[in-house]
Amino acid sequence: MPAAQILMPAPMADDVVAALDDRFMLHRLWEQDDREGFLRSVAPDIRGLAVSTLAGRIDAAWFDRLPALEIVASFGVGYDNVDAGAAAGRGIVVTNTPGVLDDEVADLAVGLLLATLRRIPQADRFVREGRWADGAFPLSPTLRGRRVGILGLGAIGKAIAHRLAAFGVSIGYHGRSRQDGVDYRYYVTTVALAEASDVVMAVVPGGSGTRHLVDADVLAALGPDGVLINVSRGSVVDERALVAALLDGTIGGAGLDVFENEPQVPEALLAMPNVVLLPHIGSASHATRAAMGRLVVENLTTWFDEGRALTPVPETSRR
């Protein structure tokens, strides 16, 4: 039987490309001079898509053009770049890469919280710019005695909570429903969580259901000593409301690994001394990205060898 034909719209890691090239007939769309013409020529035979966020939105328009498509293997635990509902309606399975990046993102989230509260990047610049000789660095806020609210107590949220417990902080959470077997206090709304917290850490998936979940009301409830940490998706936070809240002192600071229009970051945020900004690096270690890439390959391989996917997303898990 000839190898299944897989389309990769945008470049992925070299080891992912090599592994897929070895197992399938891989088409690299980004290498084509006439991408539209090339896509027309191969579209009827494409049975699998390997995508990352660099591929842009994978939606019904894509599915309409690929009549033989069976599976979309997405690189990342978040898959809001893929219209999983539209895929499910066409019998197409969508997979992501959960589990293998939970610890890495949780580590980064705690590091970002500490960096934001203790102003570690600002202190580093203070030394590099030779200002230490002119006087001591200003005192910073502390993690001691903080109440941390985790917005989205999934696998990554639980890993963050486990780490934070060692710091002796109190922990609460908000999600779609209360979780059995969880000792942390549950709050029914995001505003209630923010009112009871000094730190809100956003760890929910992206997508229409969580768009601007952190809005002006949540930020106001968090208060002038409060800190927002976002390691989920930029769409989860109303960025305009966040900028306004930081400018007028509604909240005390923010640590952001994600933004609404990446890689564009609002100029106002760049100028703020009470904000720590990272370039979406939550899972960006060599080991974790390699594990994510292997899972993309394994999902495609298992699907075409055995007719099952290892990590289907909930919308398509029945396929």
The per-residue pLDDT for 9 is: 98
The per-residue pLDDT for 145 is: 95
Amino acid at 104: E
Take residue 122 and report the two structure tokens written for it: 């600002």
Residue 97 in contact with residue 104, Cβ under 8 Å?
no
Share of the chain above pLDDT 90, in %: 98
Place of tokens 């399975």: 93
pLDDT band at 317 (very low <50, low <70, confident <90, very high): confident
Task: Write out the catalytic residue numbers.
Answer: 233, 262, 280
Residue from 269, 258, 242 nearest 53 by CA: 258
Output b/e per residue, 198-230; b: 16+ Cβ within 10 A: bbbbbbbbbbeebeebbbeebbbbbeeebbbbb
pLDDT higher than threshold 80 for residue 1: no
Take residue 88 and report the two structure tokens written for it: 């499910």
- The Cα–Cα gap between 176 and 171 comes to 17
- The Cα–Cα gap between 98 and 142 comes to 32
- The Cα–Cα gap between 271 and 206 comes to 26
The answer to whether 5-100+287-316 and 102-277 have equal CATH topology is yes
Q: Quick: pLDDT tens for 78-91.
A: 999 999 999 999 99
pLDDT higher than threshold 70 for residue 130: yes
CATH fit for domain 5-100+287-316, picks 3.40.250.10, 3.90.1200.10, 3.40.50.410, 3.40.50.720: 3.40.50.720
Give the domain ranges of the chain: 5-100+287-316, 102-277
Q: Quick: pLDDT tens for 135-192.
A: 999 999 999 999 999 999 999 999 999 999 999 999 999 999 999 999 999 999 999 9
Looking at domain 102-277, its CATH class is: alpha beta
- The Cα–Cα gap between 196 and 222 comes to 8
Instruction: For residue 162, give the H/E element and its range.
Output: helix 155-165
The per-residue pLDDT for 318 is: 63
- The Cα–Cα gap between 241 and 239 comes to 5
pTM summary value: 0.93
